[in-house]
């Protein structure tokens, strides 16, 4: 495992292009594009103000930089550095800007969710979509980029509009049976749209692409409901995390619950619990791989030889629970993050009142595979897009990796203590982008090819 040098960034704006060749970072009002392999600066663009949002187009040719305070969007081209595009939303304001899947249109959401403006870079044409709903996830593009589902609110009723992204033709428009729609998400195969109600009611609705209601799922009533929803990459399962600290798995044939994962404070039945223990000496700040004794227990990930800081606990294990304040809105309880591994085999979850633990579930056995108990609250975790390998960070100077073979913790070897606040897997290069508060660095795993 190797680490790159540290670069500056601001607003945690740092993204790798979809083709994996370039790395774009924002530093104040500058946009820096680097080659991922050499980390040499390829292009440097200067925006009109501090950048608050940055996004690559799907074909990796353009970069969108939004300055919400100014209501401005600037687009830069990689092929033609002198090409420029500036979109001014004017006095109506701007709260969100994003690319359409084709990379030739920009969707701007105005302030107060008055409308969504669709700007075409091909024809300079502008079209409006009225009544977008301000909610958790009101807009979603299907995986293949052909359809867009948009939550709308008219006359105190929730509607979903399905647009064809090709020419923004309204394909379907239907009312949903929700009190207050909170979000929608396409299944990865693009044929089923999951729609869920706000937390006041546990209700998940499944619509077909043509607007038919396929099924309705509700686990319970009279209590805070859905907190997070996630499709498995195979579209086979829909995982629903809720405020009752449980994850319910729904199958794609009958749309009924097939499994329920609970997050008890006392873990009694799992394969392993990895507990991070603070140990000052031993592993020093060095990037040279060293075999620790525990490697006998832990077959290291992709034969990476990493210092191991986690301890394997014997069951049952008590996980620290923080009792949420019942008087405050959006209580810190329930499953807020759900993530399927790319091969569908594992599901990682985080229960908000046990913020220091990440639970990994085996989707084949429908059982708890491992619990990773950290010393501090987990900030972010993400699955490797190619391997069943989970990277997570807790805002300290370490990077944690879990794979079915075991768990490792790696100290980020930089001066001044690089605190990992967020991380992103590179889509193909077997590397990780670690984001600190105002810095970033790349972490390279040893590639499989060498072993092979």
Partner 1 sequence: MGEWWTTEASMENCEISSISHVTMSPSRQNNFVSSYLFPLAKSSYSVISAFCTEDNVLQCISYINQELASLGLCSTYIEATSPEGTGLNAVPALNAIYELLQIHRRTMSTVEALEKEQLKKSSTMELMQTSNTRLKDQLELSIREKSGLHEMERQLQLKIKTLQSCLKTEKDEVQKLQSIIASRASQYSHDAKRKEREAAKLKERLSQLLVDRKDKKLAIDVLNCLGRSDGKRGHWKTAKATASHEGEMYKSLLSDYEASQKSLMLENAELKKVLQQMKKEMIHILSPCSSSGRGATADDSQEQHHDSDGEEKMGDTSRETLDQSCEHAREQLTNSIRQQWRKLRNHVEKLDSQVSQVQNQLESNKEMIPLETHEDEMERMRCEVQQCKEFIHAQQQLLQQQLNTSFDDETAALLNDCYTLEEKERLKEEWKLFEEQKRNFERERKNFTEAAIRLGREKKAFEEDRASWLKNQFLNMTPFTDRRRCSSSDGHSALSVRSEPEIRMSSVKAQLAKSSTYTTFSTPRSSQSGAVPSTPELYRTLRLIPESSSSRHSNRGLWQECSTIEDGDNQLKV
> What's the min distance (Å) between Cβ of 281 and partner 1?
5
The residue among 286 and 330 lying less far from partner 1, judged by its C-beta, is 286
Which CB atom, from 82 or from 449, has the smaller least distance to partner 1?
82
Q: How far is the CB of 221 from partner 1 (least distance, A)?
A: 15
CB of 267 to partner 1, least distance (A): 22
User: DSSP character for 137?
Assistant: B
| CB nearer to partner 1: pick between 116 and 247 | 116
Identity of the residue, 187 or 270, whose beta carbon is nearer to partner 1 in the bound complex: 187
Nearer Cβ to partner 1, position 115 or 332?
115
Residue number with CB closer to partner 1 (209 or 435)? 209
Give the CA diameter of the chain.
Answer: 65
147 or 346: CB nearest partner 1: 147
Q: Closest distance between partner 1 and the C-beta of residue 132, in Å?
A: 11
Residue 293 C-beta: closest distance to partner 1, Å: 5
> Between residues 63 and 423, which has the closer beta carbon with respect to partner 1?
63
Q: Which is nearer to partner 1, 72 or 348 (CB)?
A: 72
Nearest distance, CB of residue 237 and partner 1, angstroms: 14
What's the Cα-to-Cα distance from 30 to each of 15, 17, 102, 197, 433, rounded to whole Å?
Answer: 14, 17, 25, 40, 19
Phi, psi of 440 (to 5 degrees): -150, 155
**Closest distance between partner 1 and the C-beta of residue 433, in Å?**
26
CB of 65 to partner 1, least distance (A): 14
Q: How far is the CB of 388 from partner 1 (least distance, A)?
A: 22
Task: Sheet containing 406-411: give its strands across.
Answer: 380-383, 390-393, 398-403, 406-411
Give the nearer residue to partner 1 in terms of CB position, either 86 or 365: 86
| Chain residues in the site for partner 1 (CB under 8 A) | 58-59, 71, 82-92, 102-104, 112, 114-115, 119, 121-124, 126, 130-131, 146-147, 153-156, 164, 166-167, 169, 171, 189-191, 208-210, 252-253, 281-282, 291-294, 296
Whose Cβ is closer to partner 1: residue 38's or residue 123's?
Answer: 123
3-state SS, one letter per residue, for the chain: CEECCCEECCCCCEEECCCCCEEEEEECCEEEEEECCCCCEEEEEECCCCCCEEEECCCCCEEEEEECCCCEEEEEECCCCCCEEEEECHHHCCCEEEECCCCCEEEEECHHHCEEEEEECCCCCEEEEECECCCCECEEECCCCCEEEEEEEECCEEEEEEEECCCCEEEEEEECCCCCEEEEEECCCCCEEEEEECCCCCCEEEEECCCCEEEEECCCCCCCCEEEEEECCCCCEEEEEECCCEEEEEECCCCCEEEEEECCCEECCCCEEEEECCCCCCCCCCCCCCCCHHHHCCCCHHHCCCCCCEEEECCCEECCCCCCCCCCCCCCCCEEEEEECCCCCEEEEEEHHHCCEEEEEECCCCEEEEEEECCCCCCEEEECCCCCCEEEECCCCEEEEEECCEEEEEECCCCCCCCCCEEEECCCCCEEEEECCCEEEEEECCCHHHHC
Please state the closest distance from residue 270 (CB atom) to partner 1, in A. Answer: 20
CA distance 29 to 239: 39
Query: Shortest distance, CB of residue 330 to partner 1, whole angstroms?
Result: 18
Task: Identify which of 371, 446, 357, 386 has the alpha carbon closest to the alpha carbon of residue 410.
Answer: 446
- Find, among 158, 261, 260, 144, the residue nearest to 209 by Cα: 144
Min separation Cβ 294 and partner 1, Å: 7
Residue with smaller CB distance to partner 1, 279 or 328:
279
């Amino acid at each position: 495992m190797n680490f790159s040098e540290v670069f500056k960034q601001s607003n945690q704006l740092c993204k790798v292009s979809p083709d994996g060749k370039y790395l774009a970072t924002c530093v104040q009002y500058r946009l820096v594009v680097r080659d991922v392999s050499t980390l040499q600066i390829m292009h440097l663009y200067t925006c009109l103000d501090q950048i608050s949002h940055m996004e690559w187009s799907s074909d990796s040719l353009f970069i969108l930089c939004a300055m919400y305070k100014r209501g401005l969007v600037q687009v830069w081209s990689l092929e033609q550095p002198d090409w420029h595009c500036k979109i001014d939303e004017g006095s109506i304001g701007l709260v969100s800007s994003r690319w359409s899947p084709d990379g030739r249109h920009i969707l701007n959401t105005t302030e107060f969710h008055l409308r969504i403006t669709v700007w075409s870079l091909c024809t300079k044409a502008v079209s409006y979509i009225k009544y977008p709903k301000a909610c958790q996830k009101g807009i979603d593009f299907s995986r293949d980029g052909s359809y867009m589902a948009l939550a709308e609110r008219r006359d105190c009723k929730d509607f979903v509009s399905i647009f064809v992204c090709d020419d923004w033709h309204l394909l379907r428009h239907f009312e949903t049976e929700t009190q207050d729609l909170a979000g929608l998400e396409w299944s990865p195969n693009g044929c089923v749209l999951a729609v869920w109600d706000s937390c006041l009611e546990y209700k998940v609705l499944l619509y077909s692409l043509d607007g038919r209601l396929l099924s309705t799922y509700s686990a319970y009533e009279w209590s805070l409901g859905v907190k997070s929803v996630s499709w498995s990459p195979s579209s086979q399962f829909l995982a629903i995390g809720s405020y009752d600290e449980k994850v319910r798995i729904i199958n794609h044939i009958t749309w009924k619950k097939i499994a329920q994962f609970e997050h008890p404070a006392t873990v009694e039945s799992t394969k392993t619990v990895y507990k991070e223990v603070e140990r000052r000496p031993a592993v020093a700040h060095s990037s040279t791989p060293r075999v620790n004794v525990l490697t006998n227990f832990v077959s290291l990930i992709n034969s990476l030889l990493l210092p191991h800081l986690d301890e394997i606990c014997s069951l049952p294990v008590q996980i620290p629970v923080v009792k949420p304040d019942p008087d405050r809105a959006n209580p810190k309880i329930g499953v807020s993050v759900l993530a399927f591994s790319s091969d569908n085999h594992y599901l990682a979850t985080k229960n908000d009142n046990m913020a220091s633990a990440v639970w990994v579930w085996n989707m084949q056995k429908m059982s708890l595979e491992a619990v990773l108990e950290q010393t501090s609250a987990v900030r972010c975790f993400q699955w490797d897009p190619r391997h069943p390998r989970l990277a997570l960070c807790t805002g300290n100077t370490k990077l944690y990796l879990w794979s079915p073979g075991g768990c490792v913790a790696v100290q980020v070897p930089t001066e001044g203590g690089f605190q990992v606040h967020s991380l992103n897997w590179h889509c193909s290069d077997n590397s990780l982008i670690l984001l600190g508060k105002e810095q970033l660095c790349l972490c390279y795993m040893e590639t499989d090819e060498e072993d092979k």
